[in-house]
Amino acid sequence: MSMLWVWVDELTEIGSGSIELSRDEARHVTARRLRVGDSLVVFDGRGATADARIESVAQRSVRLEVDVIYENPSPGSGLVIASAIPKGDRLGTMLQMLTQLGLEVWQPLVLDDSAIRKLDSSASRLQRICIESAKVARRPWRLELRETTTLDMLFEGESNFENVYYGDRVGKAFGVGLDLDGEAAVVIIGPEAGFSESERKYLEISGAMAISFGQHNLRIETAAVAAMTAANFVKAPR
């Protein structure tokens, strides 16, 4: 059985020593029937992890003895996926999969034909999804969720669109011509209805490259996962 990961806020500020888990995190420990002396991993989603042992277990509280704290460097891929917002539970599914695939930043976009036009990226439900997904992935850094923006605001003041891509069925096959070295890359994914004519012209004039993830129309979350998979393939050592 793999070692359990539990989350605490600001691990580096807490430091080593004895800490008490939140109720939500304590429930994970008791559900696994862990006992005093058992080992687990503590992380804060900001790159810090620590080895820890269970000091005490009660019905609704768990105390840990935290040992050495490690600072794990950011993956540093610089990839941002900027997409329309999926409906309902599909958003949570997308965030889970993108976390497991290693995405660093998700930028929600409101486009002309978006079905969902508002999203609070700081909502506790979304943050909890990212934390739980990071545990599953055993990744020290949780997915960063940015505030919702529009296409023109996304690139306000930008002049270099060399590493910007957008999903389009008639574009180049995914992974072909994808440059993820050096400057940060942005992959833009529209709603199921697609980009409007004005948005498409804006992207083309700006020099963004059209890339295709297949011959069929894709759900937002499917396209996002395909984009991240392509990025991982391109960056994989040969």
DSSP string, 136-185: HHT-SBPPEEPPPEEHHHHTTT----TTEEEEEEEEEETTTT---SSS--
Residues 26, 89, single domain; the answer is no
Q: Which of 21, 41, 71 is the last residue of a domain?
A: 71
- Burial letters for 174-211: b for 16+ Cβ neighbours within 10 Å, e otherwise? bbeebebeeeebbbbbbbbebbeeebbeebeebebbbb
- Mean pLDDT across the stretch 107-132? 95
Kindly tell me if the per-residue pLDDT of 161 is higher than 70: no
- The single-letter code of the amino acid at 139 is R
Tell me the HSE value of 132 on the side-chain side, using a 13 A CA sphere.
13
Coil/strand/helix, residue 142? coil
Give yes or no for residue 237 having a pLDDT over 70: no
Same domain, 25 and 94: no
Q: Are residues 87 and 149 in the same domain?
A: yes
Asked if residue 86 and residue 41 are part of one domain, the reply reads no
List the domain range (segments joined by +) for residue 55.
5-71
Task: Output the domain CATH number for residue 210.
Answer: 3.40.1280.10
Residue that finishes a domain, picked among 71, 101, 123: 71
pLDDT given at position 184: 73
Average pLDDT over residues 210-223: 91
What is the per-residue pLDDT for 207? 85
- Contact indicator for 80, 115 with CB cutoff of 8 Å: no
CB 135 within 8 A of CB 7: yes
Task: Indicate the residue type of 195.
Answer: F
Could you tell me the pLDDT band of residue 127, with boundaries at 50, 70 and 90?
A: very high
In this predicted structure, the answer to whether residue 66 has a pLDDT above a threshold of 90 is: yes
pLDDT at 114: 96
| 142 shares a domain with 119 | yes
pLDDT at residue 94 is higher than 90: yes
pLDDT averaged over every residue in the chain: 89
67 and 102 housed in the same domain: no
- 46 and 113 in a single domain? The answer is no
Q: pLDDT band at 103, cuts 50/70/90?
A: very high
Q: Which domain-ending residue is among 17, 36, 71?
A: 71
Residue 131 corresponds to which tokens in the numbers above? 């934390």
- Check whether residue 160 and residue 86 sit in a common domain: yes
Rounded CA-CA distance 147/175 in Å is 28
Q: Do residue 48 and residue 95 come from a single domain?
A: no
Residues 25 and 139 grouped into a single domain: no
DSSP secondary structure letter of residue 98:
H
User: In this structure, what DSSP letter does residue 156 have?
Assistant: T
Q: Select the more confidently predicted residue: 132 or 12.
A: 132
Q: For residues 102 and 157, which has the higher predicted lDDT (pLDDT)?
A: 102
pLDDT of residue 46: 94
Indicate whether 109 and 175 sit together in one domain: yes
- The number of distinct structural domains making up the chain is 2
pLDDT at residue number 79? 84
| CA dist., res. 10 & res. 43, Å (int) | 9
Same domain, 41 and 91: no
Q: Is the pLDDT of residue 89 over 80?
A: yes
The confidence score (pLDDT) of residue 141 equals 96
